[in-house]
Amino acid sequence: MTSDRARRGKGSEVHGIFQKIAGYYDRMNFVMTLGRHEKWCREVAARVAPVRGGQLLDLATGTGVIALEAARRHPTVTVTGVDFSEEMLRRAKAKPGAGAVRWQHADAASLPFEDEFFDGITEGYLLRNVEDLDRVLREQHRVLKPGGRLVILETCPPSGLVEPVMKWGMRVVVPLLGQVVARDRSSYSYLESSTRAFESPQSIAGALRGLGFKDIGWRKKFFGTNVILWATKGD
């Protein structure tokens, strides 16, 4: 079992990385996905489909791409964007339309919200960066209302015929892009390794099913290196 000290150590390391990369996070996402990242974020915001006048939580909001799109797409919904990186939140708050979102600094493993408070939850690239995946998913289940939808944008390890080529590309190209675009090879070496080591969509779906989620599905993107996964909390 991982000790609390080890969890805090990894949490501090990941927090430091995201504090460091906040200034070029959007640019690197654009480059690494060949411009597809914002389209995926729009799909996430559309799929969550919260009820009119409801509450929507965007976890690991980062620079707010999903949260801002959700606020535009669902103008009657109260959108709350949460992140553990203060610098990411500062960047999000400076974007056009940021006043339509409630921004909050919080840890996804211990959310400061009441049970069954939100009608929908979205998140982008959260799960691969947490120490206790089950705990984070349990927190999402706790704060989501029955019948509410969870929509996840995440990386996933490549598989199938393209697996060797994509693994080589991720191992070599992603850190190189970090060096060229952001002058930061080490942070993107971590992000590349966390992608290759992360769970498959089938594994995440199994964890969600075990918590009581239903109607689970996913769609892979970009040669299987990214995935949008969705699920509904059971009654």
Label the pairing between strands 144-155 and 226-233.
antiparallel
> Residue 68 has which token pair?
């801002």
What percentage of the chain exceeds 90 in pLDDT?
A: 64
What is the pLDDT at residue 6?
40
The per-residue pLDDT for range 127-154, each reduced to its tens digit, is 988 989 999 999 999 999 999 999 999 9
Helical axes 185-197 vs 4-21, angle rounded to 10°: 130
Delimit the domains of the chain by residue range. Answer: 4-233
The per-residue pLDDT for range 163-180, each reduced to its tens digit, is 677 666 667 667 666 676
What is the pLDDT at residue 25?
87
Q: Any known ligand binding at 235?
A: no
Confidence of residue 196 (pLDDT cuts 50, 70, 90): low
Question: In the predicted model, is pLDDT for residue 208 greater than 50?
Answer: yes
Residue 107: strand, helix, or coil: strand
Q: What is the mean pLDDT of residues 34-58?
A: 97
Question: In the predicted model, is pLDDT for residue 186 greater than 60?
Answer: yes
Q: Any known ligand binding at 107?
A: yes
Q: Any known ligand binding at 108?
A: yes
3-state helix vs strand vs coil in the chain, percent to 5: 50, 25, 25
Topology of domain 4-233, CATH: Rossmann fold (3.40.50)
Q: What is the mean pLDDT of residues 194-211?
A: 85
Q: Can you count the helices (H) and strands (E) in the chain?
A: 9, 7
